[in-house]
């Protein structure tokens, strides 16, 4: 087993050079904007979107959690408001 980490492509110096080139061409020039948009498209293709069933389940869970937390905070606010009004009388 080797403890030395290696670059996947085997080319260690080229990644820094490519990164520097991208930063130079990533300005607001038309070529920089075109490069940015093509990179955004390639990243969007990598996204794995969930199906309808998990999305509906998680959405209902979030709505239920929001209702429970709002009821809790509303009741705490009501109780503390009454406590403060009793103390001030």
Report how far residue 10's alpha carbon sits from residue 14's, in angstroms, rounded to the nearest whole number.
Answer: 10
* Residue 41 confidence (pLDDT) above 90: yes
The whole domain housing 82 covers 50-89
Domain count across the chain: 2
Q: Tell me which DSSP letter residue 41 carries.
A: H
State residue 14's pLDDT score.
52
Q: How many CA atoms lie within 13 A of 14 on its CB side?
A: 5
Check whether residue 58 and residue 78 sit in a common domain.
Answer: yes
Q: Is 28 a domain residue?
A: yes
Tell me the two tokens of residue 73.
């905070």
Report how far residue 21's alpha carbon sits from residue 27's, in angstroms, rounded to the nearest whole number.
Answer: 11
State residue 23's pLDDT score.
58
Q: Is 5 a domain residue?
A: no
Interval 58-83 mean pLDDT: 98
Q: Is 34 a domain residue?
A: yes
The alpha carbon torsion through 32, 35, 36, 39 (nearest 10 deg) reads -160
37 band by pLDDT with thresholds 50, 70 and 90: very high
* Residue 26 confidence (pLDDT) above 60: no
């Amino acid at each position: 087993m080797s403890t030395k980490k290696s670059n996947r492509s085997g080319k260690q110096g080229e990644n820094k050079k490519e990164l520097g080139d991208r930063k130079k061409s990533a300005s607001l020039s038309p070529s920089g904007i075109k490069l940015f948009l093509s990179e955004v498209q390639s990243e969007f293709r990598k996204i794995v979107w969930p199906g309808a069933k998990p999305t509906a389940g998680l959405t209902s869970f979030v709505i239920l959690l929001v209702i429970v937390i709002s009821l809790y905070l509303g009741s705490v606010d009501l109780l503390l408001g009454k406590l403060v009004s009793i103390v001030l009388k």
